[in-house]
Amino acid sequence: MTRTPTELKAEILHLTREYSSLMHKANRPGNDPHRSPFTLGQTIPYAGRVFTEDEVEAAVGSTLDFWLTLGLEGEAFETELAALLGVKHSLLVNSGSSANLVALSTLTTHKLPAHKRLQPGDEVITVAAGFPTTVTPILQNGLVPVFIDNNPVTGNLRSEQLQSAFVSGKTKAVMIAHALGNPFDIGAVIEFCREHDLWLIEDNCDALGCTYSMPIARAHALGFKENSPGISADGTHVTRYTGAWGDISTQSFYPPHHLTMGEGGAVNIIHRPPLKTYAESFRDWGRDCWCASGKDNTCNKRFQWQLGELPEGYDHKYIYSHLGYNLKPLDPQAAIGRQQLKKLPAFIEARKQNWEHLRAGLADLDEFLDFSLPTHATHWTPKGFMWDDSGCRTDCSWFGFMIRVKPDAPFTHSQLGRHLDEHKIGNRMLFGGNLLRQPVFVQLRKDRPESFRVAVPLDGADTIMNTALFLGTYPGLTKAMMDYEIETINRFILGN
């Protein structure tokens, strides 16, 4: 008997789940009883894909439908991510780096008021140590990045240096990342941006699921109310996810990140709806039309526009208001992402627990190592963090567990990293370290010294570059894996 397409698809998806449950046991969450057990000699990555047969079924099902380009799955993911964060809109792109490019480019549109539009030569304050694609969109748009320093303890900017970087009439925005899943000092940064009427772009690529809390009185002074979307309050503090405090923010869905589509990212429009249209234009070739793929006349005026010097009635689907790109992901990727979003709360909790397990296991090595702290924390205890008197708190969805080798230790961070690598333990330095030391910026200083500015000495960024590395905290780690990491580090350090 001939089976219907619906029956065939159901059978294919049933077999897909069966196949995935057999083949992908090593990719299940670390606390999943069906996960492959850790054995000595197995590589422990610093990060990786964590998924079950749910994601594989979603990917295959979407591929069988074969729409391919961004469509219904993408629309649903954008809606679900925006609802999670409590922002106006989320817009899918093909990577976190593309998200940063689109976010920054959005603020260059001629459709913004002249005093708010970023134009060539305007300055954008950023931080020296981190991932390069937080900074490169500034240069790619003809703007001038102005560098301030990092605090080695948190990995984040030294917010007290913002004023030193500001130049009236030239500074137009602040673009910085929440380092390794540790929120930066949002209260101080927003106050600075409000004082000078600056845009705030949050690079939230490493920090999905982090929250920042501030006292209610301070939140009210900055315009954040308890009944606003995405905000929770407990009577004393207002709390919100990172990526939902500034004007525009970005996400990455590359495999090491908090959820994955393989490749992918998002631009979040936090509270100014018109920015969505501008961001879509830069993402979608620079076109003026806002029709979704497969739709031709959303505005009901497709042949009634007259823009630029084009003839009246020129097809609106081929009118371009910006020099844009094509940075969309595929719909099967969004289908995967929707399944990952359902697991995000468990992933976040696992990252927190894994960080705590590593911190407790290495606590006796503080003669040789310095450990990170959340922003606003003063020190760690096995019972929790102690906090400064600002009243602000951070709850970290850790991207990694960063340690710094003390200057008087009998080994360097490179030697420790090499030892971990020899024992198949994944580790990374804090991305590009002090980016001003990278070959591309050394060359840029020679070719176009006016293209960037260093506002303060970058001692903290150099400290991170020379002393820091991080281990994974991703939710695929098992307790046995982390215990092996702790044992290996202890043996190396106490044997030196």
Cite the active site residues.
257
Tokens for 74, please give them.
């993408």
Tokens for 208, please give them.
């999905």
Question: Which strands sit side by side in the sheet containing 171-177, from one edge to the other?
Answer: 89-93, 265-269, 248-252, 199-203, 171-177, 123-127, 144-148, 453-454
Q: Are 253 and 265 in contact (CB under 8 A)?
A: yes
Place of tokens 């044997």: 495
Which among 468, 454, 449 has a CA at the least distance from the CA of 406? 468
- In angstroms, the CA 377 to CA 15 distance is 49
* Cα separations in angstroms, 315 against 169, 270, 287, 300, 320: 40, 31, 11, 12, 11
Q: Which H helix or E strand runs over 458?
A: none
Backbone torsion region of residue 476, taken as left when φ is above 0, otherwise alpha when ψ lies between -120 and 50, otherwise beta: alpha
Beta strands in 71-205 (DSSP E): 89-93, 123-127, 144-148, 171-177, 199-203
Q: Which H helix or E strand runs over 265?
A: strand 265-269
Query: DSSP string covering 379-419, please?
Result: EEETTEEEE-TT--EEE---SEEEEEE-TTSSS-HHHHHHH
Which among 347, 495, 356, 363 has a CA at the least distance from the CA of 423? 495
Say which amino acid occupies 161: Q
Q: Are 140 and 101 in contact (CB under 8 A)?
A: yes
Residues 6 or more apart whose CB falls under 8 angstroms from that of 134 comprise: 100, 126, 127, 175, 176, 177, 203
DSSP H helices in 107-147: 136-140
